[in-house]
Amino acid sequence: MSLSWSRILPTGSIDNINYNAINHYKNVLNEVKKQGMIPFVTLYHWDHPAIFDKFGGWNSEKMIIAFNNYAQVVFENFANIVKFWSTINEPIAYCYYGHGKGELPPGDTFNGKGPYICGHNMLVAHAQVYHMFKNKFNNSDSQIGVVNVCWNFYPANSSEPESADIAFEYNCGWLSNPIFSKEGDYPDIMKQRIKENSYLEGLSTSRLPELSKSMIKLIKGTSDYFGLNYYTSKMATNVKKTPSEKWFEDSGVNMTINNEWPIDVAAWLPIVPEGLGDMLRIIKNKYNNPPVYILENGIPSDGSSYDLVRTKYFYSHMKEMLIAKNRDDCNVKGYVVWSLLDSFEWLFGYSQPLGIVHVDHNSSQRTRTPRTSFYWLKDIIHQRALPSTFITPNKTYKY
């Protein structure tokens, strides 16, 4: 679950804590634990007090201080009841859509610099909060980290195997490499290409902020686990190098969908379960096999109760996860589907339901109805085993 910064500090000031929100979250967390579950809590899932956007939000270093203040309030109130923490969910996606494409608040299209500045500030803020937690609030069994969404990539042309590696670095390695790699710092290919493009554009410095030696030391190792959100994969193709101020063109790689991959209701999300296994093996080999928690994995459906495609999606991805874990010794520690309830998706609203529980948003009671995938997952959790082959549940299946 995630906490709302705006709800806890509605004016952004630590002098104006909303204790009704604090008590609400305490009640929720205690009930979760009472029901035998372990809460995994995210500090920031893309909402913050609107007043911060007056100084540029995550494009300003002031946001680093504000995030530290917010995190301290949260830890002071919840560190004794929460074991697993995530600082920021999907920082790359937030910076790309909020400060690059302008499709999410604050809607910036900031001349090729915005996503990099945003990501840089988020990375520093995460590291500072990590150290604060370890120094002031850590329990012997507490864990804190960051969660990145990572697509897996395959080269579209066998003669260009490097295209998939480059795409990975721009879409996952960008904010993973400084934390998990042996050397720290941003990926070399990013530093090189963005610097070259910046000079071609007439800029005197790279659009990608530099990590100083002290920053590299501050950031490296600041995650007790690799938080992974995986949904799908893409194909990668090298493209002709041209000067560009657009973040997504700096890589020199075009990312497309393989038309042979199956899709359901969302054309943007082909079903590629083997991509999850390959991603886990990449993480193992690049980052010295850190503990991995898969914290989002799912697919939209047409909204019906009999969501067979989603159920098969979960099965096929769990199977690939177990192959990576049991055959290839990938250090997978946990798996969480997205999502429990039909939720408001940032880019699609309520039009692409992802919940294993249907929510009737036209009802004043927001009536909840479990789907087939809910009962299937309940069965798997109780059995604590995945069948060797998928058994299709019938439309009246309940566990």
169 inside domain: no
Residue from 274, 381, 277 nearest 332 by CA: 277
Q: What is the pLDDT of residue 358?
A: 97
Range of 308's domain?
A: 274-399
91 inside domain: no
Q: Number of structural domains, the chain? A: 1
Q: What is the pLDDT of residue 345?
A: 86
Q: What is the pLDDT of residue 25?
A: 99
Q: What is the pLDDT of residue 243?
A: 59
Looking at 171-231, which runs of residues are DSSP E strands? 226-229
182 inside domain: no
Q: What is the pLDDT of residue 248?
A: 63
Residue from 150, 155, 185, 184 nearest 170 by CA: 150
Residues involved in catalysis? 90, 296
Round to whole Å and give the CA distance between 382 and 39.
19
Instruction: Give pLDDT tens digits for 254-291.
Output: 999 999 999 999 999 999 999 999 999 999 999 999 99
Instruction: Give pLDDT tens digits for 123-160.
Output: 999 999 999 999 999 988 999 999 999 999 999 999 99
344 inside domain: yes
24 inside domain: no
Mean pLDDT split into 10-residue runs, the chain, 399 residues: 98 98 98 97 98 95 99 98 98 94 83 93 99 95 98 96 97 98 98 94 95 98 99 94 66 94 94 99 99 98 95 99 99 98 87 94 95 97 95 86
319 inside domain: yes
Q: What is the pLDDT of residue 346?
A: 82
195 inside domain: no
Q: Of how many residues is the chain composed?
A: 399
In which region does residue 343 sit, left (phi positive, over 0), alpha (psi from -120 to 50) or beta (all else)?
beta
In which region does residue 64 sit, left (phi positive, over 0), alpha (psi from -120 to 50) or beta (all else)?
alpha
Other CB atoms within a 10 A radius of the CB of residue 246 amount to: 13
Round to whole Å and give the CA distance between 8 and 48.
10
Q: What is the pLDDT of residue 247?
A: 62
**Any bridge partners for residue 237, and if so which?**
254
Q: What is the pLDDT of residue 140?
A: 86
The CATH number assigned to the domain holding 288 equals: 3.20.20.80
Round to whole Å and give the CA distance between 337 and 196.
40
